[in-house]
Structures are given as C-alpha cells and as structure tokens.
Structure 1
Amino acid sequence: MKKITLYTITAFFLSLALFSCKEKEPETKSDLKEYFKKSEVSLQTGGMQFIPIETPKGTFKVWTKRFGNNPKIKVLLLNGGPGATHEYLECFESFLPAEGIEFIYYDQLGCGNSDDPKDVSMWDLPRYVEEVEQVRKALNLDKDNFYLLGHSWGGILAMEYALKYQGNMKGLIISNMMSDAVAYGKYADEVLAKQMNPEVLKELRAIEAKSDFSNPRYMELLMPNFYEKHILRLPAKDWPEPVTRSLGKTNQSLYVTMQGPSEFGISGKLEKWNRMPDLKNITIPTLVIGARYDTMDPKHMEEMSKLVKKGTYLFCPRGSHMAFYDDQETYFRGLISFLKK
C-alpha cells in the first residue's frame, strides 16, 4: 500500500511538472521573439545606428549597435582606454541575451567605427559627457529603462554623466574604476609597483625618467610584469581575440592625452581628476565592481559603493581590470542580479 501511495504521489508531481513545462514553453518563445524584435525602420541593419553629434568643432558621427530588445532594461556600454573600442566588451553577448537584457555598443568619438576628428582639443571630459547625453536622446533612453555601464575610463565618464544627468537614468554601473585619479596613481606606486621584481621596476622607472615611451622595451617589461597580472590575468598570447582586436585599434592620441603612456599609473589630463567627495550626490541605484588583482584598489571601490546613496558592491576575487574575462561567473552573476532587481 505504501508503495502504491508513493508511486501515485510521485506520478502526480511528475505530471504537474510536465504540465508546468508545457505551459511555460509558449511564453519563452514569445519572450525570445520580443527580445529579437526588429527595429521600426524600413531597412534593417542589425541594430547599427550612426548618431550625429554636435560639438564646438562641428558635427561628427558616432557608431552604436543595439543588441536585443527590452523596454525596461537598456544598458549603454562605455568602453575604456580612453581610445579603445566597444569590441573588447563582446563577451557580454555570452551572458546578457540569455537573461533578456538589452545592451548597446557605442564607440565614443575618436574610437573604433566612429569619426575621428584628429583634434586633441576634442579629447575633453565635459565634451564627452555632452556626447553621451546626445546619444541617450537619439536612442530614446530614459529614467524608466536607461542603465549606464562604464568600464575603466568609461567609469570616469559614467560618473561624470550621472552627476549631471542622473535624472535621465534608472541605474549606474561603475566597473573597475576608482573615483580619484590621484589615489589611483598612489595605489600603482605604493602597492602594485612594490609587487614587481625590483630590477624590472628599476628599468621601467629609468625609461619613464627619460620619457622614452616609444622604446619597445617599455611594453616588453610591462606586459608580463604588469598587464598579465593586473589588466587580464592570462598570458598575452592567450588573451581573447576581441580584446587584442580592440586594443590594437586604440587611438593613441586620445589615450596618451587623457591617460598617459600606459596603465601603470596616470599622467594625462585626468591626472588630478577626483570625484570622491561628490559621490554622495549620486542618488540612483549604483553598482560598483572591483577585483582583487585590478589596477584599481578594490577597497577604494568598496568605499565608493558606500558613499553613493543606493550603492551595491560586487567583488571579483579572481578578477583583474578585465574581470568580465578572468572572473566571468562572479562578474556577470552580480551584474545580472543588479539589473533585474
């Protein structure tokens, strides 16, 4: 009798589960169809759109590409560098579509597929903030759906944009970027540099003292001793193709003007940039992402998450500056959770 009862109960729950699966199937197909819904234009271009940007030096075009469709969650990606391209963020395609999250690639002016005015005066933080605002308007992003994710230099741009235009936003993600460039430089000098082989550091400092940054020896030393430890924790020969493709297209004029000659500290126009005291003015939900081996101090990143009004901190214990590659599971699980709350 007990066997019959157990069998009956098991059969009942099994049939219930099968019925439930059958009921959910059409909904899943419907969601998939809606996610890959075509844009409302006569000629389909795979989501690509050039956007005209008004600047003090005239009108230029910037490149964007929409992936997926979600009326409630639209994530605009701001690449780092400055001067790299959207391409190193292509790994997002392996995680966000499965969750129905729409995201938008965007090459900033002077980057990748966008126009390059070849004018150093255009490499200016306030001008880039206004550029992002023009992109937002053109893409019809608003406070009910617009999330801005900035990585590295893109994090600086995202913070500046939020401090001026957060009323147009639903949420902010600051990925792998401190809010104080002076503290960033100090962390590189006082923490990361001391982890290097003393002989390597001595040779690097000698090259820097002569400003001999075009010397190939400079990157020969930095790649195994710094980049492979703090930018992306893989041998350079194994770096993902989207990363090498993107970095290979870096606009050096933009990069050196804003950042300086390398990721080993900061010495460009952003050298004295500091928004730490202003983070308290960011009142929208904000996710700050730090990583154990990053060029950015993870403790500083955690403190940032406490200074904003509605902050959350995501720590990637195996990650570096590109934690979305070397600690993917942690990074995307945390990001997706934040976007879906």
Structure 2
Amino acid sequence: MRIHESSSPFRDGFTWFRITEPDTPRDLDPVFILHGGPGMAHDYVRNLDRLADLTGRTVVHYDQIGCGRSSHHPDAPADHWTPQLFVDEFHALREHLGIDTYHVLGQSWGGMLGAEIAVRRPQGLRGLMICNSPASMPLWTSEAARLRVDLPVATRYALDIHEADGTTDHPDYVAATQVFYERHVCRVVPTPQDFVDSEQQMLADPTVYHTMNGPNEFHVIGTLREWSVIDRLPSIDVPTLVVAGEFDEATPATWRPFVESIPDARSHVFRDASHCVHLEQPDEFLGVIAEHLAGRP
C-alpha cells in the first residue's frame, strides 16, 4: 500500500486526510471512511486501510473538523456543530481531491453522517455502508437505557447517581461507564491501541463530542439528542449495506429503519461482536465489506 497524508482548507480551518492506494490499483471508485464520535478522529478505524489491497480501491480517511489532526475550534458556539457542517466538509474534501464518484463507509456517527450525505442524493455517490449506526438518537438512547438494566446493580447505581448530580467526571462514574463499554462498545481486552488513541485525543479536546453527543456513548444530552434521519431514508437511491454486532450498543431496533426504509438495503450481523466489529473481528468485517463492493464500479 502507498500512503499520502496532507490537509485541505475548509472554511476558517482545515481538514487533515490520509490516502491509501493499493499496490495493484484497479479502475474502481474510491471509498471514503467516516469515523465516529462525533469527534473521535480516524485512528480507531485506521485498519480499514486494508480495503485498498483487498479491493483494489483507493481508501480515504480523514479527521473531521474539530478533532484529531484537523483544525480545532474550542470556542465555536454550540450551534456551529451541525450535521450540515460535516456534510459540507465531506464535499469540500472530495472536491479538493478531485473525486467525482465514490463509495462511503461510515462507522457509528460516521454512518449517521453517511446517511445525511446520501439522503441529499449527491450525483457521484455509488454506494453506502452504514456500520454500527442508529437511524435516530431517540432510538439510541431508548435502547441504551434497556441495555443498562442488565448491568450489575452497583454499576447502575453509580451511573444513575452521578448523572443526576452532574458529576459524570467522577472516577466511580468513569469506571461504571467502562463496564458498559466492555460489553457493548469494544470487547477486545486490552483495548486496542488505535481505539485508545482516538479516545485520548477526544478527551484532550472534547468540544465536538460533548457538544453534539454528551459525556459518553449512552448519556446523550448534546445537540444530536433529537436527531433522526428515518423520515428521509426513502430518498437514498444507492445500494446500501447495514452491519452491526450481536452485542452492539447499536441494537437492531436502532438500525432496522435503514433496512426497512432504504429501497436497496441489506443487513449483516456479526456474531459475538459489539460496536467495534472492525477491531474485534477485522478479517470477517473486511471480508463482508469487500464482498459488498465486489462487482461494483
């Protein structure tokens, strides 16, 4: 694989990107990888660069504005951080790279962003892969509450009491959060370094994550708390693959609207996996993605 890193201008900042080209390129549309968070940076999905040699396609990673190696804007008002901002950033980067036709793979928030891109029917979009993502945040929070019921009593108590007190930075709350994460976010022990790197850079500047999402994956009190794309899904007009893990915090109730409402959509569930299937079962995950892309431009 050949790797090139640089940045492109976007509004009053810049977007850092990483391009991976296969050793044996084919005349096929590239794949953009959209990371989650919002604000988690690309590190934890870096291993998807293997798609380059698996499929013969160029793979484009980038850190969305406000996180990672892209420009940070900690003083921006809360209403600055909207889905439309990130849709605009995606197209600004795509145009900077001179890419007219492409596929999009989004993980978690990245899948939500991918859906936001796709419902606008951009002319060059050839396919969409939504990985471990909800179609609405009310569904997400409802299902998170259901999953919390099965946590140990002491864990539930720590979560409830510190959320009520607004002390979500307390060590007991952080420890209780980790119990949820080990069940439903990443089941690999110890946590893979790429995930740790994404998490650490988010904690160093949590502006985007805390503003749009909240203090963690299941206590969603940010500006995305009422977000939904469900009523717009029928407008997506490209082949769509929806994947999730058996123990994913993105439960079937959260992603089923994608499959039911997108005209050309299919789903795949990975057994004994959670939210970060690509880290837990990388070969199986990449195989399913490569199979989906096979035979497509």
Pair 1:193 & 2:148 matched: yes
**Secondary structure at 1:105 match in 2:** strand
Within 5 Å, which residues of 2 pair with 1:238-317? 238-250=190-202, 251-317=205-271
Deviation at 1:199, TM superposition (A): 2.5
Superposed CA offset, 1:23-74 (max 9, x none):
xxxxxxxxxxxx75xxxxxxxxx411211112xxxx2111111101544131
1-structure distance, mates of 2:282, 2:156: 30
**1:322 corresponds to 2:276:** yes
Secondary structure of 1:84 counterpart: coil
How far the C-alpha of 1:93 sits from its partner, in A, is 3.3
CA contact (8 A) 2:121 2:237 kept: no
Instruction: After TM superposition, give the deviation of residue 103 of structure 1 in Å.
Output: 0.6
Q: Which residue of 2 aligns with 1:49?
A: 6
What TM-score results when the alignment is normalised by the length of structure 1?
0.80
Amino acid across the alignment from 1:142:
D
Distance 1:98 1:274 in 2: 34
Alignment pair present for 1:67 and 2:23: no
What stretches of structure 2 of length at least 5 have no aligned partner?
none
| Runs of 4+ deviating beyond 4 Å | none
Selected match of 1:163 from 119, 124, 133: 119
Gaps of 5+ in 1: 1-34, 37-45
Equivalent residue, structure 2, for 1:102: 58
C-alpha distance in structure 2 between counterparts of 1:266 and 1:297, whole Å:
16
Q: How many aligned residue pairs are there?
A: 288
Is 1:123 equivalent to 2:75 in the alignment? Answer: no
2:14 aligned partner, one-letter code:
K
Mapping of 1:12-161 within 5 angstroms? Answer: 36=2, 46-54=3-11, 59-68=12-21, 69-121=25-77, 122-143=80-101, 146-161=102-117
Aligned-CA RMSD value? 1.7
Helix, strand or coil at the partner of 1:164: coil
Give 2:9's aligned amino acid: P
The residue identity in structure 2 corresponding to 1:293 is F
TM-score by length of 2: 0.92
Could you say which residue in structure 2 is the equivalent of 1:172?
A: 128
Does the aligned pair in 1 maintain the 2:121–2:235 contact within 8 Å? no
Q: Is the 8 A contact 1:73 1:339 kept in 2?
A: no
2 CA distance for matches of 1:195 and 1:95?
36
Residue 298 of structure 1: how far off its partner (Å): 2.4
The structure richer in helix per residue is 1
Q: Within 1, Cα distance between the matches of 2:237 and 2:216? A: 33
The answer (yes or no) to whether the contact 1:120–1:257 under 8 Å persists in 2 is: no
